Structure 1
Amino acid sequence: MTKAEMSKLNTTPDEDSSSYSSNSNYFNYPYPSKTAALESPYVDMDPENQNFLLESNPGKKKQHQGTTSFGMSVFNLSNAIVGSGILGLSYAMANTGIALFVILLVFVSIFSLYSVHLLLKTANEGGSILYEQLGMKAFGMAGKLAASGSITMQNIGAMSSYLYIVKYELPLVIKAFMNIEENTGQWYINGDYLVILVSLGLILPLSLLKNLGYLGYTSGFSLLCMVFFLIVVICKKFQIPCGMEHDLVNATLNISLEHLPTAYEPLANMTNDDICTPKYFIFNSQTVYAVPILTFSFVCHPAILPIYEELKQRSRRRMMKVSNVSFFAMFLMYLLAALFGYLTFYGNVEPELLHTYSEVLGSDVLLLIVRLAVLMAVTLTVPVVIFPIRSSINQLLCADKEFSWLRHCAITIALLIFTNILVIFVPTIRDIFGFIGASAAAMLIFILPSAFYIKLVKKESMKSVQKIGALLFLLSGIVVMVGCMTLIILDWTSNPVSDGH
């Protein structure tokens, strides 16, 4: 194809071919320079997706210059990492113990950083900022399907976890505002009805927009909400004392023993040491969910390459510094949230930490503010999560077709229907974290980056330290995915009505 013919392809892309995001928050990045795309040596690829900084070819002029500062890139990547997974970390610590949880947290964060290193190096060799294109170049259609399927599953898991929060937190907010003490069966405090109403009234209209634009700013709002949530978790640890037998429990909860929530009935038969002594190593049927919850919480890899593309004074070393700062900040945030949540409720932590406070404190004003902020953040983030899922489906099924409003609306409605059904019938958010963390998150963190690296980076032999390390990383990812999925399925079959306790 001549340059003149290729220039005809230089048209403004539609909304569904733009950018990627992670499990927790999503961004809309500017399109890469078309000039760079046209001059790319990778002529076998769609010109729309060719552009990438080809550092391995110093003779080529760098056409597209990033404009995002180091600090803003750190903020963007932190937005991409943090998400609803933070609500399940205290539950993970309650079922692993403090020491084992810290060990797992350190390993998952280090492994995630290593996979970022592999991804950046592979992208330079593969010449693409898109996960699907790297998969296509490495393994053909099978690689493209694997990448697209993993991203879609991860984003559906993120969207489901957000709607699950709406399902269980919005009824509590309504009850607090209407001063309803007990659930007497009103439809407007039924979580299943409310999640459907929110999906139809708020999420669907926003999701149908062709250009989401301003919704990208909700990622920053979500991060602020999670920081606020962390501050409240730390404060509440010192406001909810533990122990001193039943009289302190009664004073703290402001209820009598016979009216304790179901989750706290075991308190009546436990000693102070049983209730309030932190455990450092715990192994039970729920311990298996710890690794998937952690991997779910650290997935940000589809957003790595767009952030790299827009980084000012761009280089792999500079992007790795961005990643190091972001991952370290999220490591501290996750550790503090998990630790103070666990030290507040110990073995009685629920899979969704915010709901645990609701069971204990009821309509506490500060918690009500946190709940409202989190509900607003997750509701506005769901349309942004739908964006890359719809884009991925279009890339797979209709890559060469013009934009169609009918197809656009049909895919959006089908995604919302499927996710609502999932949220209504899945018994606990723990199952969402567990299944998606053990499957899609393991693929995005462990398996795909290492497999793409092994296949596309030709200048290193298979006997090199780098390739051997990537191969071991790939094998460890397969072990993690198969092992966790097997144990989770065994837990489902042996405890089919488990509520997470």
Structure 2
Amino acid sequence: MPNVVASLYHDLTSETTNPPAWALDGRNWISFFMLILVPLCFLRHLNSLRHTSYIALFSVAYLVVIVIWCYHWPLEGMTKPGEVRLIHFTPDFVSTFPVQVFAFTCAQNLFPIYNELKRNSQKRMNIVIVGSIGTAAMTYEVIAIFGYLTFGSKVGPNIIAMYPSTSLFVAVGQLAIVVLVLFSYPLQVHPCRNCLDKVFHPGHVAVPPSKSKVVDEVARVGAVEEEEDDTSSRSSGSGSEETEEIVPEPEGDEHGHHGEMSAVKHFLLTAGIIVAGFTVAYLVDDLQMVLSFVGATGSTTISFILPGLFYWKLTRDDFTRKSLNLSAFFLMIYGICVCVFCLSFNIYQIIQYKGTAHLEEAL
């Protein structure tokens, strides 16, 4: 936001003075955007965030246009391209690999999406998965290839920051990144809140409000039908024969619970997530390091370790799926290796960075 403000301030005004000091402090903008984020984070359904998601997708499309345009028609003041190599491994690859894993981590929203589909079949869910992962992969590839071909070995970790912010065309793109990150945050609060609910109350199954009424109605109709069947069977039997009455079990999970999360719990969990997220955003400057740690731990667990573990345990006695079962086991082992190796490398980088900083300070 400070770069966006500085660029728009000089492009849209005739003044030669600098923008106000408060507008050049990123933490002020973080505090301001919380006013927009808080109401969105308290929404109960992913469907309620569809309009903000449309805006975020438009922002992604605009970024793709910038990268392709600047490759074919470079802007004035752009960095001269460095050497372009087909394959080149460096130690930085280890720290950036978890970021790539994090980029495809969207499994945490699968169940809410499935519950909110009007016709939630496996076929439709496959279309959602292939469409979302495929679109993301295509977007990443286009930006990565054209961005690297534009700057070569001089490319930075944030591709949009490589373009001169004096251009209004690029400044709007930087604003698009702000919008993209802003509207992505509520999409992560939703599964985080549900997971915390399961941690604190593992026996409770929260049914979406749109489905809870249907569940209650199905339970009521089922109880009435079983009662009618029981009545008819007793009337058709002999008078002297006693028939044991069958009491229908209540619908719901194995603990007999169903229904949506209470308002108090919903408020407390959401408020806790927002406060924790705001604190991290306000205090941490190096976003790449944060993503490296998140990718090495949470993303590898969600994407590799848990899917492999679950499938392996569920099908290990099914000899017809032996090859898939073995593949799932190796996926779990691969995820554990990635988690341990990348996490250790990130810790090593922090220790090395602090050691270098102390040495420079001493000199």
- TM-score > 0.5 by shorter chain: yes
Matching of residues 219-238 of structure 1 within 5 Å: 219-238=53-72
Show the counterpart of 2:26.
191
Q: Deviations over 1:308-362 (max 9, x none)?
A: 564859346x7546544543443222111111112222233332222222xxx12
8 Å CA contact 2:4, 2:172 repeated in 1: no
8 Å CA contact 1:222, 1:377 repeated in 2: yes
Distance in 1, matches of 2:316 and 2:140, equals 37
Classify the secondary structure of the residue corresponding to 1:253: coil
Show the counterpart of 2:243.
none
Instruction: Say yes or no: does 1:280 pair with 2:86.
Output: yes
Show the counterpart of 2:300.
442
Classify the secondary structure of the residue corresponding to 2:90: coil
CA distance 1:327–1:397, change in 2 (3 Å): closer
Aligned partner letter, 1:379: L
Work out which structure has the larger RCO, using CA pairs closer than 8 Å and 6 or more positions apart in sequence.
1
CA distance 1:349–1:419, change in 2 (3 Å): farther
Show the counterpart of 1:294.
100
CA distance 1:467–1:279, change in 2 (3 Å): same
Question: Number of aligned pairs?
Answer: 297
Q: Give the C-alpha shift of residue 239 in structure 1.
A: 2.5
Instruction: Say yes or no: does 1:464 pair with 2:295.
Output: no
CA distance 1:323–1:388, change in 2 (3 Å): closer
Superposed CA RMSD in Å reads 3.3
Distance in 2, matches of 1:240 and 1:351, equals 19
Aligned partner letter, 2:304: F
Q: Give the C-alpha shift of residue 291 in structure 1.
A: 1.7
Q: Give the C-alpha shift of residue 380 in structure 1.
A: 3.1
Show the counterpart of 1:35.
none
Matching of residues 352-367 of structure 1 within 5 Å: 352-357=158-163, 361-367=164-170
Q: Give the C-alpha shift of residue 442 in structure 1.
A: 0.7
Q: Give the C-alpha shift of residue 407 in structure 1.
A: 4.2
Which of 310, 331, 334 is 2:140 aligned to? 334
8 Å CA contact 1:446, 1:476 repeated in 2: yes
Which of 170, 190, 199 is 1:396 aligned to? 199
Q: Give the C-alpha shift of residue 373 in structure 1.
A: 3.1
Q: Deviations over 1:171-220 (max 9, x none)?
A: 12222233288978812210012212221x22123334556753233223
Q: Give the C-alpha shift of residue 295 in structure 1.
A: 0.7
Show the counterpart of 1:347.
153
Q: Deviations over 1:137-166 (max 9, x none)?
A: xxxxxxxxxxxxxxxxxxxxxxxxxxxxxx
Q: Give the C-alpha shift of residue 382 in structure 1.
A: 2.2
Q: Give the C-alpha shift of residue 236 in structure 1.
A: 0.9
Q: Deviations over 1:217-274 (max 9, x none)?
A: 3223322221221121111112327xxxxxxxxxx318xxxxxxxxx7xxxxxxx8xx
Structure 2 unaligned runs (5+)? Answer: 205-256, 358-363
Aligned partner letter, 1:186: A
Structure 1 unaligned runs (5+)? Answer: 1-169, 242-251, 255-263, 265-271
Q: Give the C-alpha shift of residue 447 in structure 1.
A: 0.7
Instruction: Say yes or no: does 1:174 pair with 2:32.
Output: no
Aligned partner letter, 2:8: F
> After TM superposition, what 4+ stretches of structure 1 lie above 4 angstroms from structure 2?
180-185, 209-213, 305-309, 318-322, 398-407
CA distance 1:321–1:175, change in 2 (3 Å): closer
Show the counterpart of 1:382.
185
Classify the secondary structure of the residue corresponding to 2:278: helix
Worse overlay, 292-301 or 489-498: 489-498
Distance in 1, matches of 2:326 and 2:26, equals 50
CA distance 1:207–1:320, change in 2 (3 Å): closer
Q: Give the C-alpha shift of residue 376 in structure 1.
A: 2.7
Aligned partner letter, 1:335: E
Q: Give the C-alpha shift of residue 448 in structure 1.
A: 0.5
Aligned residues with identical type, % of pairs: 23
8 Å CA contact 2:4, 2:175 repeated in 1: yes
Show the counterpart of 1:420.
278
Aligned partner letter, 2:294: I
Distance in 2, matches of 1:212 and 1:383, equals 9
Aligned partner letter, 2:65: I
Show the counterpart of 2:248.
none
8 Å CA contact 1:292, 1:433 repeated in 2: yes
Distance in 1, matches of 2:21 and 2:278, equals 20
Distance in 2, matches of 1:182 and 1:346, equals 35
TM-score for both structures, normalised by structure 1: 0.52
Distance in 2, matches of 1:435 and 1:423, equals 15
8 Å CA contact 2:44, 2:190 repeated in 1: no
Show the counterpart of 1:259.
none
CA distance 1:416–1:453, change in 2 (3 Å): same
Structure exhibiting the larger radius of gyration computed from Cα positions: 2
